[in-house]
Amino acid sequence: MGENNDQDREEIYSERVRAGKRTYFFDVKTTRGGDYYLTITESKRKPKDDGFAYEKHKIFLYKEDFNKFVDAMNKTVEHVKTELLPDVDFAEFDRKYEEQSENSETKTEEVASEGSSDLKWD
């Protein structure tokens, strides 16, 4: 049998997180048996020849490991916030993210409203 390739699996749900030169994708897919699993993909844009290439790293996470994974992630993040970086205002990152999201939504709405009457389909 071939290598473990999830490209032919139906994508049920997806979230994207942009983080500088990296983008993280959280995708829910189905197994052949009708079960669900999560893929977490880190995609990093790198210059290549006369253009760009994307370096990708992927983690497959199955339902029996969801709780353990989330628990370990939360504990690790909390340790960094409280023990290693107690003076950092992490709420400031949330405010910046919310502002970026609002600006992005506003720009999308402006573009949609400006160009909606000019759309032509062939």
Answer whether residue 6 shows pLDDT above 80.
no
Q: Report whether 45 contacts 54 (CB < 8 A).
A: yes
Each as own residue / partner, the long-range contacts of residues 62-69 (CB below 8 Å, 24 or more positions apart, any chain) are 62/37, 62/38, 63/35, 63/36, 63/37, 66/38
**What confidence score (pLDDT) does residue 95 get?**
84
**What confidence score (pLDDT) does residue 24 get?**
97
Condensed to tens digits (0 to 9), the pLDDT of residues 8-58 reads 567 799 999 999 889 999 999 999 899 999 999 999 988 888 888 999 999
Residue that wins the pLDDT comparison between 13 and 114: 13
At the second CATH level, the architecture of 11-110 is: Roll (3.10)
Each as own residue / partner, the long-range contacts of residues 89-94 (CB below 8 Å, 24 or more positions apart, any chain) are none
pTM above 0.75, yes or no: no
